[in-house]
Structure 1
Amino acid sequence: MKAAEAGPAPEVFRPPVSSVLALDFQQLKTKLQTYLRPEDVGRVEAAYHFSADAHAGQFRVSGEPYVSHPVAVCSLVADWHLDPQALIAALLHDVMEDTHITKAEIAERFGKVAAELVDGLSKLDKIEFRSQEEAQAENFRKMLLAMASDLRVILIKLADRLHNMRTLDHMRPAKRRRIANETLEIYAPIANRLGLNDLFRELQELSFRNKYPLRFEVLAKAIRSARGNRREVVGKILASIEERLPQWGIAAEVQGREKHLYGIYRKMVEKHLSFSQVLDIYGFRVIVKDVPSCYLALGALHSMYKPVPGKFKDYLAIPKANGYQSLHTTLIGPFGMPVEVQIRTREMHHIAETGVASHWLYKEDEKTLTELQQKTHSWLQSLLELQSASGEATEFLEHVKIDLFPGEVYVFSPKGKIFSMPKGSTPVDFAYAVHTDVGNRCVACRINGDLMPLRSELRNGDQVEIITAAHANPNPAWLSYARTGKARAQIRHFMKNAQQDESVTLGERLLNQALRPHGLTLGQISSFAWDRFLRDRGVRHKKEVFSDLGLGKRLPVIVARRLAEAQDLESGRPDVVKPKPAGAISIRGSEGVAVQLARCCHPIPGDPIIGTLRKGQGLEVHTHDCPNVAKLRGDRGRWVDVEWEHMVDDRLFDVGIRVLSHNACGVLARVASAIAEEDSNIQSVSMDGGQGEYTALNFTVQVHDRMHLARVMRGVRRVQEVVRIGRVKADGRVG
């Protein structure tokens, strides 16, 4: 934003502050003068005095005046060369939370933009972790929305978190661990996703130190000891690289670096290694002038030391999602010590260290920055999609955490487009990454030209083709192996909507049937009667009632009686229409989640059936002689008359049969062949031994209806060894 948008220069408030604070702000002011205009520096100074006034008399746990914290946050933000509005918001980020200052006052003095930033920061100031998971998730959702509308919100919040982590020593140990854990799980991954590499590493180190102080100290001591032992080898490698690159005509800056403690600790935990087994604690960075020099330098290094197979990664050709670009290779150095080397250009180095903040820091490389900004924008939009598709805040937080820890699997569409997917992704995740509609209509896939199961794990370089069908829908089983937050959120979203629509339709049918004994149909219920019914029960809309009826949360006979009573209260109501005999509800067996065929008795078309309403699960259809239905004889309000719809359908239904046969060689194959000859599919088979010369074969077969089952059973009886065959009932008996 331009400085003019911040509003007129406000009056400067100057409360007495300590000389230490004055010195802190003077250092900040000197930093600001290197890139801001004098009038903008004046606005920031006014915000500093305003903040000092608002926080007067407030102190941090360490005993320092509270305003020292906003000054430190503003100084961190100034390192990224953020604009005056962001600097003002950094200085005022706690005034709405901790003082009497309102958003309107900030807008009046410092402009609407600064006020909006402070408001966004105030909403996400107190995130609770674990102890109040729902509250934390709701606050995190607010943080996301603020971040999506203005990226400066999260940059200021990350600077705020970094300063809090640096000054965590004065907190109680339990609180230090909680804040460190929260930082590791949420803030450090966000910094990484935005490409803020330096900030990401420091947040990890500080979190490690505060979450596991003893482990941190032991590992730090081991690193100090190893540093002395390996200094000579590292110096030799550095000197040889600096000598070899000019011989190949490459002008380069070579940096040696020690790996971060948290990275070493994670490697030890994940690979079950002791510290002595972690050899690559040192790495090198080679910075060159352009992209061709990167590949030339790679050749020079591989001519010096042998590369480790499978350890080369080209992030120049395929950048990471956060814009990071570099060549990574691991070499076998002197004495067999692994040496990790990163090769990149100066511009890539800027972006690797500062990520999206490079938009403010380095504006000369417009092409690279535009691409990075587009990727960041796409990520923020994808998070907003997750937010809209997730029902509860805790579910949303689960999805976002998955996406904040991406792996590095790169796969291709049939047209050659590259998709970066988290490790462990499946074709279902790929389908949703292409488009939500592709995911919802997915039925099969080809990986590298071969038909593969949808649960197959994708690998680097796979070409994935998704096969769709117009009437296909997501399968709930996908949730057991879908990896990405987008896929999981969209599958859950679809299932909820599908259940809602089906249960509303079923509820209307159930209520219409229940109203017939009262001489009414659903269409004859007046708006007055509905309003009275909804008001008395605190329900907002008729659809909620229908949905509850379809899911078994309300009983149709009770709702019908209450509606009829409300209808009777309406004066001048016309005579009750003579009801037709109450008809049964027709069942196809393919209604979906609102109508379930009972697994205890496996009803099939042609069976006499009865429906029962199960709370929260809708209508469950049983055979009329199912023992589980007999248990509900005293609760007739939950019984529903149902009948099979008369229609030709290709749907197959599971049913159990038990075959008793002589224990002869090949009998199982002959029985299976007889079942197949009658166009029936075998879902499962098991055998009960220990019956002497007889064997019991238990099949679950798929049939269209009762007539089809009869043909299957006649075909099996023709097998010579078969003694007896029957259908398995709900109680395990054969009938």
Structure 2
Amino acid sequence: MTKQGGSRTLAAPDEPLAGVKGVVTRPDELIDLVKAYNPNTDEALIERAWVYGARAHAGQFRASGEPYYNHPIEVAKMLTSLRLDDSTIVTALLHDTVEDNAGCTTEEVAEIFGEEIAHLVDGVTKLTKLQIGSRETEQAENFRKLLMAMSRDVRVLLVKLADRLHNMRTIKHLKPYKQEKKARETMDIYAPLAGRMGMQWMREELEDLSFQVLNPDARKSIIHRFATLRKESGDLISQITDDINSALANSGVEAEVYGREKRPYSIWRKMEAKGEAFHRLSDIYGFRIITRSVDDAYRALGAVHRRWVAVPGRFKDYISQPKSNGYRSLHTTVSGRNAKRVEVQIRTREMHEVAEAGVAAHWAYRDGVPSDNPFAVDPFRWVRQLAEEIETTENPAELLEHVKLEMFQDQVFCFTPKGEVVKLPRGATPIDFAYAIHTRIGHSCVGSKVDGRRVPLWTKLKNGQAVEIIRAEGQRPQSSWEEIVVTGRAKSAIRRALKNDRRAADIRMGREIARIAFERIGKQATDKALDTAARSLAIGRGDDLLAKLGSAEITGHEVVASLYPDIATPTVSEPLRDSVDGPIYIGLAAGQDAIAGPCCNPLPGERIIGIAERGRGVVIHAIDCPSLGAFEDQMERWIDLRWNPDAGRGPSNHALLEVVLANDPGALGRVCTLIGELGANISDIDFAERKTDFYRLHVDLELRDVKHLHHIIRALEAESVITQVTRVRQSAVGVTDGVE
């Protein structure tokens, strides 16, 4: 780090809170660190916690071989650099006592240290027990619990983040598979949480430590390239810092300037996102200017822009439009010395403290009293808002996706037609904008105008744009919107709406199927009958039953059979021998048993072949059945057969049709009515595919013979709502073949 200019001492912004240097081995050394910012600290309380923790962890060792209690001490030391209150420091010292020691209880901690500290220790203990990296469903549920704990007291998370940071710093002592698991968990959950809590320095270090485990070769490559660049170009950071100080001095601005190389993971992520090699990247250096006042911050910005050429589209004013976690700063990118792009952040000291401490600034102390930093934000606001939103999320995967989206994204600021500011994540679209205002506006969105011009709904919004949403009554969310939006709020609202719309469509479809099924036995599908059937099938109410019926989770036969088991038409065809005078198949030897092949289900009128099979008798196949190919070299097993002329007199034979049907109101009813008018029965309907514009369904028919089948196919093909009708045969290995 390079620090120049100004008379006041200020830690370098990129490693200010990474932990106090030096080893703390005695309680008075830790107390001195706290007294440096809080002279009124309760020394006896901290010393008592030190002794209690040391006794609780006596005889315990970490994977590195060092005494285990070194870990809680390091966590507490790390939190002193955030200038946190006594309760949080004590919690750090005690955070593993209840979990790791059967003799230590939350009740005992409460008795010795008070209810507040016991509550915090219990919260950290519960977070530690959560297996965030477990299977998706468990991971989402555990993450829900983590957010609920955070919503009660964010200090629990601050201790947990410091705990994770120290564990990541010492991760090399774990076995490789454990390193990878913890690194992935840190990258996916804890690093973005740290960033969302405003502690960007911690997020960057957690990401980089995880990167070192997950992709060590890539990290080493970037470090090597930095070394090569320094060798070729010299100390560019020191040179550019001198340039900035000179520009500020010429403008009469007193400030402190710091420069750094960006972390390897930050560089790697940018290389991956842009698809560029290291030497093509320009803004790999970052500089911060800390001023005395807001006026000086804008004057410093002017000095920088007068000295160097600003890169278009890279200026952000987070002072006039702060981020939701309280972050305030001016960001700009300029073409500096040797045409190297450098990123410059400009802010006041108070803003810098919030930028470094994030929500922890709410509990920060200075000179023995709580900090009155005007830029510190309510640390519970975001967590509570998120907690409220996830309570309505049913799908675990959606919950996890929603939270990650809320944590990861940077922000852009857009305006409503009335001039109100709407904060959105980078990459947000007009649909995200609409849902950010109100769910009702999002649902009814049909178009948008950005800065007065009509734009597609998938347009990515930029800072400062004015957005107008065009609405229409009767408009509903489209399934394609899920791929367009980026905010968790919009995704959840769209999925809920689509789910409700699908349910409504399923109920309409189910009502039609139920009507047909009940009419077949001379009954009516009344609401009372449907409610009774739903209770019988343990499905809930009538609408729930219709929804399952419409989505093909149950069949009409099952519904009817639940009420009228004695008269319900069976869905499986009965043996045909009793319905025909004499044998069904002519050409069998006396006493020889025969069974219709389930692969092709031959109909009377079709040419048939029998295949003699040991233990099964003769299996009857249609001459074009794909299964016959397996017996081409076994002609001695083939038996030439024909149908009994009486076999096709009654509608007791089965055929399966695949029908592609337009998703129009009443379309299914027209199809079912037509089949009934043609003298066939529907024994089952299965929806193979459901789209917004068409259905592909399988209809199991009871009919007379192959001639009857052809009449039905031709009649169906003449219907305007039907685009395709195909007879389906299934091969012996389960592969479906369509035969018209």
TM over 0.5: yes
- The aligned residue for residue 217 of structure 1 is 220
Cα shift at 1:417: 1.7
Distance 1:621 1:317, change over 3 A: closer
- The aligned residue for residue 31 of structure 1 is 33
Residue 74 of structure 1: which of 64, 76, 80 is its match? 76
Residue 610 of structure 1: which of 653, 672, 682 is its match? 672
1:435-468 deviation digits (Å, cap 9, x = unpaired) = 2222123233222233333233323333211233
Residue 436 of structure 1: which of 432, 439, 442 is its match? 439
- 1:551 maps to 2:623: no
1:44-93 deviation digits (Å, cap 9, x = unpaired) = 33333333343343321112232322222222223223333333332332
CA distance in 2, matches of 1:398, 1:224: 38
Cα shift at 1:150: 1.6
Residue 447 of structure 1: which of 443, 447, 450 is its match? 450
- The aligned residue for residue 270 of structure 1 is 273
CA distance in 2, matches of 1:544, 1:729: 31
CA distance in 2, matches of 1:462, 1:619: 36
- The aligned residue for residue 571 of structure 1 is none
Cα shift at 1:491: 1.1
Unaligned runs of 5+ in 1: 1-19, 567-596, 635-654, 658-704, 710-726
1:153-203 deviation digits (Å, cap 9, x = unpaired) = 211111111011111110122322232222222211121122112212221
- The aligned residue for residue 208 of structure 1 is 211
Contact preservation (8 Å) 1:552, 1:619: no
Residue 58 of structure 1: which of 52, 57, 60 is its match? 60
Counterparts of 1:698-717 in structure 2, within 5 Å, are none
- The aligned residue for residue 182 of structure 1 is 185
Distance 1:613 1:446, change over 3 A: farther
Distance 1:104 1:502, change over 3 A: farther
- 1:308 maps to 2:311: yes
Counterparts of 1:111-510 in structure 2, within 5 Å, are 111-126=114-129, 128=131, 132-231=135-234, 233-361=236-364, 365-369=372-376, 372-373=377-378, 377-500=380-503, 503=506
Deviates further, 140-149 or 243-252: 243-252
Secondary structure of the structure 1 residue equivalent to 2:29: helix
- The aligned residue for residue 95 of structure 1 is 97
Q: Which amino acid aligns with 1:114?
A: I
CA distance in 2, matches of 1:109, 1:409: 48
CA distance in 1, matches of 2:717, 2:450: 36
CA distance in 1, matches of 2:300, 2:215: 40
Contact preservation (8 Å) 2:534, 2:545: no
Deviates further, 145-154 or 109-118: 109-118
Distance 1:518 1:460, change over 3 A: same
CA distance in 2, matches of 1:452, 1:21: 59
Distance 1:161 1:147, change over 3 A: same
Deviates further, 308-317 or 431-440: 308-317
Contact preservation (8 Å) 2:289, 2:345: yes
Unaligned runs of 5+ in 2: 1-21, 567-657, 674-683, 704-715, 728-740
Contact preservation (8 Å) 1:307, 1:329: yes
Cα shift at 1:215: 2.9
1:125-163 deviation digits (Å, cap 9, x = unpaired) = 255566623222222121111112221121111111101
Contact preservation (8 Å) 1:613, 1:620: no
| Matched length | 587
Contact preservation (8 Å) 2:35, 2:41: no
Counterparts of 1:42-53 in structure 2, within 5 Å, are 42-53=44-55
Where is the helix percentage greater, Structure 1 or Structure 2? 1
CA distance in 2, matches of 1:468, 1:453: 14
Distance 1:518 1:66, change over 3 A: farther
- The aligned residue for residue 15 of structure 1 is none
Counterparts of 1:689-704 in structure 2, within 5 Å, are none
Secondary structure of the structure 2 residue equivalent to 1:65: coil
Cα shift at 1:41: 3.4
> Identity rate of aligned residues, in percent?
37
Secondary structure of the structure 2 residue equivalent to 1:609: helix
Q: Which amino acid aligns with 2:434?
A: A
In our comparison, the structure showing a higher alpha carbon Rg is: 2
Contact preservation (8 Å) 2:127, 2:146: yes
Q: Which amino acid aligns with 1:79?
A: S
Distance 1:87 1:616, change over 3 A: farther
Secondary structure of the structure 2 residue equivalent to 1:610: helix
Deviates further, 182-191 or 269-278: 269-278
Q: Which has the higher contact order (CA 8 A, sep 6+)?
A: 2
Distance 1:41 1:512, change over 3 A: farther
Cα shift at 1:21: 10
1:373-395 deviation digits (Å, cap 9, x = unpaired) = 2xx54432442244123222222
